[in-house]
Amino acid sequence: MKKVTIIGAGNVGATIAMKIFEKDLADIALIDVVEGLAEGKALDMKESAPIKGHNANIRGYTKDYSAAEGSDIVIITAGITRKPGMSRDDLLSKNMQIVEDVVKEVVKFASESILIMVSNPLDAMCHVAYEVSGFQRRRVIGMAGVLDSIRFCTFIAEELNISVENVQALVLGGHGDSMVPLPRYTTVCGMPIIQLINKDKIEKLIKRTREGGAEIVSLLKTGSAYYAPAAATVEMVEAILKDKKKILPCSVLLKGEYGIEDVFLGVPVKLGQKGAEDIIEIDLNKEEIEALHNSAEHVRRLVEKMKQLRTNRT
């Protein structure tokens, strides 16, 4: 049985754990800093197993990162979540420190694992994980494009009153207001949505996709989204553990692809047992490539801000 460690037993981490458990994808170690939280949630999940016959093992731990030993994948969800009026970028300073500390522990006990980052601001936290871990770039992957794309799918299906199974959407770029939904590459049964929805409505759907997380935060008032982020993460986990070679939009470190250097950004990636095994470069028109580069610059500014924060800290 494969093994997955999830760090952070809040709503996102616990929901990821439950979905992996129900699919029997891997044994699970759930770790949190709050005394008893991971243990209690893991035990609750384990006690649900007899109904559907889940055979994976799940166990919770408090601050015991040695439980990550032997993990194929480590998923990091730890950090503070957004409140109404906050952007993902507002989380930068606090979550940077949390992710630094967590990744140092992961390296001690799971140095051969693949890291999937979920903590926000996502692309910036990928930079932190990459720098602290020293892992190859294929082994540090951010969950963002999958989530943004399934949100876009949902809104398109609602607009056309069709099954979400008929929609394939593609959203690239950073996980935030600068994300780049691509209507030309978004289809319904192979037909580009630009043939089915007028331009003004497409722009409204794009705006709603960019603000999808904030919309949920404003409704919940005391937290942020977790069902869809968990589903997106598990899609990535399954592709890696089963060596599917599945192409999904993920945040990876670009080294010249799309003309972008040394920035984590969402692009189509082939996921397999080695992690991000290949970066797919699709043809973008001038407007699309400009939007992608603008998104990269936004991430780059966050990375520079983190450097300043580290300097001030020392």
Q: Which residues have a catalytic role annotated? A: 175
Q: Are 112 and 41 in contact (CB under 8 A)?
A: no
Bridge pairing between strands 261-272 and 246-255: antiparallel
Question: Per-residue DSSP letters for 217-247?
Answer: HHHHSS----HHHHHHHHHHHHHHHTT--EE
| Coil, strand or helix at 48 | coil
- Among residues 118, 128, 33, which one has the least CA distance to residue 77? 118
Task: Tokens 């919940």: give the residue.
Answer: 220
Q: What angle do CA 281, 289, 148 make, to 5 degrees?
A: 75
Phi/psi-derived region of residue 4, left when phi > 0, alpha when psi is between -120 and 50, beta in every other case: beta
Amino acid identity at 23: K
Q: Quick one: tokens of 210?
A: 């960019």
